[in-house]
Each structure stands twice: as structure tokens, then as C-alpha cells.
Structure 1
Amino acid sequence: MSVRTVPSGTGPFRAIGLAAERRSPENPDGAEIRAALTPAGVAALVRHGCAVAVERGAGTALGLPDAAYAAAGAALQDHDALYRDKDLVIKLKGPAHRDLARMDPGSTLLCMVHARSVPERVAVAEEHGVNLLAMEEIRECPERLPDALLRARLAMRAVLGRAPDPPGDLALAFTFAEAPAGASTGLAAELFGALQYAARCRPAALRVVGSPALARGAFAVPCAELVALARALPAARVDAYRASLPVRRFGRRRIHCLHETGRAGARFGVGLALRRCHGPAAAAGLSTVVLGYGNVAFGALDECLRQGVAAVEVLTRRTALRPAVRRHLATADLVVNGIELAPRLRGRHYVITDDDLGTVLRPGTVVVDLVGGCPGNRTPVQPVVSSTSPLRPCVVRAGVHLASVWGWPLLGFARESAERYSAQIVRLLLEDEHLADGLATAPPGVRRALVAGPAAARCGPPLPGPSPDVALSATLNG
């Protein structure tokens, strides 16, 4: 294993370590089993010329043996050695503070930092001169809108143009000729953009149903027709539409598994709702509400339909406002929250309040919070103060089941999410942002995510505002 040679942390990353997930503030009971890089990801870095060390056992619980990492060209190291003599250490969840303190001054840690939830981590990094790069804060720069998203917007705009009333006066129902329950492919990518466009029009109601018969007088949007229309649009029209849009400096998160998060949370929620003593016998009978229409909420919607839920109410900014939201909460068997509040509203505004327990929400209702929170960064679900563990995902208050797991994909999508993270990290290092060349040449979408260390002063501005997806509790010991 070669010794790193760049004390400032701004030069190329040549000596890279992959740390195993151990007990830490985010992982107090050791439930996290994923590895940030798969053997395929390690092999790509080795081919690039990086010397990669992998902590022994890093992927064992996920079915990725040490032998597979060794075959990919990695050196295997013990825990104590892994954090030393590295330009870059990669980890999924933030490490215990004692492990961060082991790192050499000027080295860089790439992980889910969650600085507002675990502020002690930033203080330790500053004390030891370690560059802390928040994986969850890295963004596209500039924003890059996929063709499927733009096609979906154009198609939805054309469909709404045929509606008898303005979009804001409509009750919209996305309909399927047959319920997509059990479909292995899930919802088409175009449907995300169409649903998001429709939601931003602030309709009177928005639901997704497994049969046109369930539209119940709403303006029906046949999903098959919508997807066909989107895919048939000429490329020139899509390009012209893209050219007409303002280019935002920062776009989507570069490293995430939001869809898997939504799917895992919804799968857990459906299962729990069906196990209630007085609940419906089949998923089709569940009265289901999804709050929000972003990536994580769409993942939840996707999984609800795969599980056989017949109709899902999707609450937009208009219908999620109080007191209107109370009407939906009062009849729901399953509520899935995908709404992330602006930083200025956290701890001040709630979509579901403590008072809703026992007065609006019925005993036995299941509330799944996909956003998560801690005392310093509250979720829009006021009864959720701190996120729960995958080993103990649910608590009950006033008869209402509350689940807000900090690692939702561990409940059914551990391997898929690990593979997704690995592929995204490799692209970040070697392809799109070329982060392997060092922090000094990193683009603004990476530099904005530097939250501590000597390179933060040299390479970029402070973190702009609280982390948008804090899902951890700063009260846990690490």
C-alpha cells in the first residue's frame, strides 16, 4: 500500500481507503451493513491507477467477500490501519469520532456527513485538520435535465391543455388500464416528470389509481397514453424546450438512493398496515396518502402500486396545507411523508402535528416518514423527534404507528442501494466531476459540500444552509 504524499488534501487522490460500517452516531446498534463501494467500483479505481485499501469485512454482510475485493486489486487492511496514510477515505455513514481523529491532517473523508445533526463531527474534523466532504450535499453543476423529464413535462402540458377547466380547478387522476401491482419494471420514468408537473399546477386533488373506474369523476390522465405521447415527441422539440428554460447553477444530488428509500418505506408501511388487527385484508383496500411529489415520494408511490394498493392520494403544496390535510389524515390507513421543509420552517411548521394523534389520525394508522429528523432538524411530522433504527423501525403513540428509519433501504434494498451508491461514487471520482484529481480542481457542485478542514477555506464557500435531508439524531453517542 503506497503512502499518500499530498498533505494539503487538494492534490490528486491516489491512496484511497474503503472503510467498513461500524457503530457511529448514525449507526448506534450496528444495523448498517452496506459498503460504499462494491468490488466492481474498487476495480474501476484500481484501473485508474489508484491504490485502494479495503477494511476487512467491509462487504461481508452484504454478500461481498474480502476475496472479491482482493480480486478487484484492493489491499485488505484492519480497522486501525484503514484510516491512516490515505488521501481519501470513503464511507457511507459518518464514522465514530475516534476513527475520524485517526486520519492524517490534510486527508479527506467522503461520507454522509449530516453536519447539522452531528455537529460534533465537524468540530473533530476541524481539530484534526481533516477535510470533510458531505456526500449528501454534492450537486450537479450546472443542472442537467434528463430528456425523459422534459418529455414528460411537455406531454403533461399537452394533456392538461385538453382539460375542461384550468389545472388549478381540476381533480386529476393518473389511471392505469390494469393495476401495476407486482410489475417488476415499476412506473415509467416519464411518469415522474408528468406527476411533478401536474402537482406544481396545484390541482384541487391528485391521485394515482390502478383502474380508470377509480377516477371517480376526476379528469383522467391515462398513463399508457401519457408515456406514449412523451416518447413520441420529436427530439428537436425537446431540445427547443430545454433551451427555453433557465439554467440553474446547481441541480440534483449526485449521490443518493432516494427512489429505493421511498420504495423501502412504502413496502414497510403497507406490510405494517395490513398486519393491524382491524385493517383491510388486502393492499387494495388500504386508504393511502403520499405527502409530496419529489424523488423519494415517487419511489413510495411506485412501491404502493407494486404492492397492490388500488388508489393513492398525492398531496401537493395546496392540499398538504392545514386544515385541508386533516381531511386526508382522518380517513387514511397509511400515510407516507416525502415532504422536506425549507430550513427556515423546520421546527416551526408541521404537516402532521402532535395534536393529530388521537384526534385526527385513527388508532392503528401507520405513518411512514421518509425524510427523518432529530431534535435540531425536525421532520414535518411533529410526533417524530428522532429517527428510528432499522432494527426497531416503529414506535406507537396514541395508537398510531410511527416509523422514521435513518436507513430505509436496509429494509429490503440493501444490495441495490449499495450498488447504486458505488456506481455514483465512481462516476463522481473518475467521470463527471473527476474528483480523483483532487479538491483543488473539483467543480463548484463538489466544493459546496466541503464542510470542514483546511481545503474548505481554500476551495469553496461554507455549506449553504442546513442539510436538506437530515435524518439522524445528534443525541446519539459515537
Structure 2
Amino acid sequence: MRAGFDPARMRRPFRSIGIAAEHESPENPDGSEDRVALTPGGVAALVAHGCRVSVERGAGAGTGYPDAAYAAVGARIESRDALYPGKDLVVKLKGPAHHDLARMDPGSSLLCMAHVRSLPQRAAIAGERGVNLIAMELVRECPEFVSDEFLRSRLAARRWFARLPVADPSRLSVAFTGHSLRAFGALQYAARTRPRSLRILQAPPPPGPDTATVGFAELDDMAAQLPAEEVDRERARHRLQAYGRRRIECLHETGRAGARFGIALALRQNPALGTPARIHTAVLGYGNVAFGALDECARHGVAHVEILTKRTTTRPDVCHHLHASDLVINGAEPADRGRTGYVITEADLGGVLRPGTVVVDLVGGCATNRSVVEPLVECTHPGDPYVVREGVFLAAVWGWPLLGFKRESVERYSDQITAVLLHEERLADGLATAPPGVLRAVVAGPMLSLTPSSQQVALSATLGG
């Protein structure tokens, strides 16, 4: 155990909490990340809970929250040098610079987007310093929570498919028309039937024997009319996972920001397109971040979006979709990062992908933590968001919501972090009483010796396994 470490500190609640500002760091080399983890409202909730909260001077300025707003709710304003020492817990959106992390006291804790697969040195420094590093991106629901809205949407899609004259959905070309934020369950259900193709269109396609088309509005009506008893039965049939979705995330806003950027860049580089309606778009994946991209495409009136599922991202099928697209948006998270096959390869540049095509990678990564877009080895940054290779425009911004959804993302993060600290998980009561959904997110520090499950996650993440 590191000298100076007090084991009793591990059993105490977090009473002294620091909210750190963003500075240049391995994740923020150009200083463009200037969001803050908690709004004044979030800090006020911690103060009301009995916590002593310090906010680094200027931490909220980039999102319109002056120091005076934090001081007004009871926070102490401190310098960067004073913020890290003497705190039970430091909260920061992105990981701190390594020298800031080294200032923290042994036995204290840091809650941030740790990304230890991409930056294993951060975990090593935390471990050497005796700081418990809690990765925000690994905090999960425990157990999984499935909303009534999702279940209703999924049930409506199942009912619609059951009415079709074709018994095998894999023979169908399925098209949704219109737009609905309530249709996530229906979209996922359709994608998992492995149809021949899956599209979102503004207008219905010509009818055909192997074409099935339904409006999102029709599915929403079907979902609303389902009896509560049927939803309850579906919930009882649903096999809950031990861990559900991320508790601290901004995936929908990430998808929207990336799609908005891609649409604007496609129009700028291809003036002949004229309007978003003429941008032929392909979206890889059908998870939360991809659904955000689909939302933004619909808001801009993109008339034709191909959703590429596991079936259509295999070669040679995917080459046809890539070649036909003006804008390709990747929202597919590889199951085994760094060891997976690529959907978009180096060889696709200058061949499959036409000059002028825009590729937006919402997942991103780095050399040790690759996404399915092989030409994008490292993430780009808001100040220099894309590179051009063989006439193809490639963007994988680390911090997509900075490009248009900064304030919205800060409010969302603040609400989620506050909930983890004070409500469902009650992390403010300390790591000793934290639930498994938090403990599995501890990726470095003395707490690992007390939580074997976290040890396994930490080692796997650090080694890229």
C-alpha cells in the first residue's frame, strides 16, 4: 500500500468535492474542450447534501456559467493548483493532465472519462499515486432498465412484421417513412430481423413483392394503443442483463452533432447536391449514437438513409452501399476493439469511396483502440475536425457535441453525474457502499484490491483485451 495512504479513508463518504476545469491534456491537445462536468444546479444539489464543493476558477466560463453563479450556490472558487489536493473526490468531464492527477492525495478518487484503453498511462499514474480512478464511461445501470416506451415500440414493430405476407423477414427490403423519437425499439427490432435492406425515407418507395414499408407515425399509434397488460407480459419475458446502458453519456447529442457536421461538409464539398434531401446517406449501426444521427438526418430532410446492419456490413455487400453514398456515418461499436475486421478499409479510399464522400466516425479511437473505420487511426479535434485522403473527407472528432450541442451536453452530463452521486447509486456516500454498476468502473487505485470484478475490468481495459 502506498506510503501516506489511510485505509479508513476508503470507508468515508465523499464530503470534500472538487469540480475541475478543462485544460490541455492528452485528450485535449488544442484546448478546444472547455465544458464543465456540473452546472451550478448540480453543485447546488451537492451543497444541499452537505458536501463542501470547490469549483476551479473559470471552469464553467466556456459554457456560460460564471464563477459567480457557482459561488452563489455555496461553492468555493479555487485555483488549478489548489483544486486537486485535499479533496475526497474530484469530478472532471475529460481526463486531467497527468501532472494534475499526480497532485491528488493517496486514497482520494477521480471521476472522469478515463478512456484507459486509449490512454493506459492515466491508469498507471493513478495506481502509482494511490488514487481511485472511476471511469464515467464504464458506470452502468445495475440491473438493466428497459422503459415502457422502448417495449411498446418493439411490440408494435413485432405486430407489424407478423401481419406481413412474407414469413421470413430476411427476404424483405424494409423501409420506414417519416420520423419519431419514440421509435428506437421498432428500429432495433427491424434491424435484428436481418432484412435484405433497411432504409429511412421521406417518401414511400414504389411497391414491390419483397418491399415492406411502414410509417413511424403508424407504429407510434400502434404502440400507444397496446394494452398495459401486454407491455407487462413483454417486460416479464425480457431477460434483464446484469448491467444495462451507460449511466453517464451523451450519445444522442453525439450522433446529432456528427450528422449535422457531415451534412454541412457534404453540401460544401459537393455543391451539385444543392440540398440535404439529395444527400445519399449510409449509417452504420442502429444503437443510441446511430439513432441520434438518424434523428438529425430527419430534421434536415435527408430523403434517403440506408441503415447498414451486421448483414449489410459484410463484404462485398457493404462496398455497394459505400460507393453509392455521399455521406457515411459510423455509429457501430466493434465488439472487440482493436482486433475487429474493418468495415471501411484503407483500400476503399480512392476506389470504393468516391472522391468528395464524407465519412463521419461517431465512435472514434486511437492506434491501440481502433474503430471499424481503418483510415481513421486517431481522433480529430474540433479546431481541425477532418482530414482529406484520396479525395475522401474523414472526421472522428473527440467531443462531437462541442460542434453545436455544447450547452445541451453539459446539462445532460450534469444531470446524470448528479444522479449517480446523490440518487440511484449514491456515490457521494463513498466507494465502500457503491453498487456494482459503479465498482466495475473503478479502473485503478487501492479500491481494486477490495473489488475483484473491478480488477478484471481494469486489467482488460488497460491491456486492450
Q: TM-score, normalised by structure 1?
A: 0.92
Question: 1:79 corresponds to which residue?
Answer: 80
Pairwise CA distance, 1:101? 0.3
Which residue of 1 is the match for residue 278 of structure 2? Answer: 285
SS at match of 2:236: helix
Counterpart residue identity of residue 201, structure 1:
T
* 1:31-180 correspondence to structure 2 within 5 Å: 31-165=32-166, 166-176=168-178
* 1:385 has 2:377 as partner: yes
2:25 corresponds to:
24
Paired with 2:451 and 2:340, the residues of 1 have a C-alpha distance of 34
**Counterparts of 2:270 and 2:186, CA distance in 1:** 37
- Report the equivalent of 2:202: 210
Contact 2:181–2:295, Cα closer than 8 Å, also in 1: no
2:342 pairs with one of 309, 329, 350: 350
Asked if the contact 1:8/1:454 (under 8 Å) is kept, the reply is no
Structure 1 residue 404 corresponds to structure 2 residue 406: no
Gaps (5+ residues) in structure 2? 1-5
- Counterparts of 2:121 and 2:388, CA distance in 1: 30
Counterpart of 2:3 in structure 1 is none
**Residue in 1 aligned with 2:445?**
453
For the residue of structure 2 that corresponds to 1:445, the secondary structure is: helix
CA contact (8 A) 1:7 1:105 kept: no
Aligned to 2:260: 267
Q: CA deviation at 1:6?
A: 8.0
Structure 1 segment 224-373 matched on structure 2, within 5 A: 224-343=217-336, 346-373=338-365
**Per-residue deviation, 1:320:** 1.1
8 Å CA contact retained: 2:282, 2:305: yes
1:128-157 deviations in Å (ceiling 9; x for gaps): 100000000000011110111111111100
Q: CA separation in 2, counterparts of 1:6 and 1:59?
A: 34
Relative distance call for 1:463 and 1:138 in structure 2 (3 A) is farther
Contact (CA 8 Å) 1:291, 1:297: kept in 2 or not? Answer: yes
Give the distance between the partners of 1:329 and 1:215, measured in 2 at CA. 25
Provide the C-alpha distance between the structure 1 equivalents of 2:29 and 2:36, rounded to a whole number of angstroms: 17
Shift of 1:221: 1.3
Q: 1:466 to 1:373 in 2, by over 3 A?
A: farther
2: distance between equivalents of 1:435 and 1:37?
15
The Cα of 1:9 is off from its aligned counterpart by 3.3
Q: Measure, in 1, the Cα distance between the counterparts of 2:7 and 2:456.
A: 24
Amino acid aligned to 1:98: H
Match of 2:189 among 179, 184, 197: 197
The 8 Å contact of residues 137 and 467 in structure 1, kept in 2 or not, is answered as no
* Counterpart residue type for residue 169 of structure 2: P
User: Which piece of structure 1 moves more, 381-390 or 10-19?
Assistant: 10-19
Q: 2:340–2:372: 8 Å Cα contact kept in structure 1?
A: no
In structure 2, how many angstroms separate the alpha carbons of the residues matched to 1:404 and 1:143?
Answer: 29
Name the CA distance, whole Å, in 1 between partners of 2:439 and 2:295. Answer: 34
Query: Distance between the aligned counterparts of 2:299 and 2:405, measured in 1?
Result: 15
Letter in 1 for 2:235: R
Q: For residue 240 of structure 1, report the CA deviation from its aligned partner.
A: 1.3
TM-score (norm 2): 0.95
Separation of aligned partners in 2, 1:118 and 1:432: 29
Q: Secondary structure at the match of 2:263?
A: helix
CA distance in 1, matches of 2:235, 2:355: 48
Q: Percent identity between the aligned chains?
A: 60
Q: How many pairs does the alignment contain?
A: 455
Give SS of 1:212's match.
Answer: coil
Q: How well do the aligned residues superpose, as a CA RMSD in angstroms?
A: 1.8
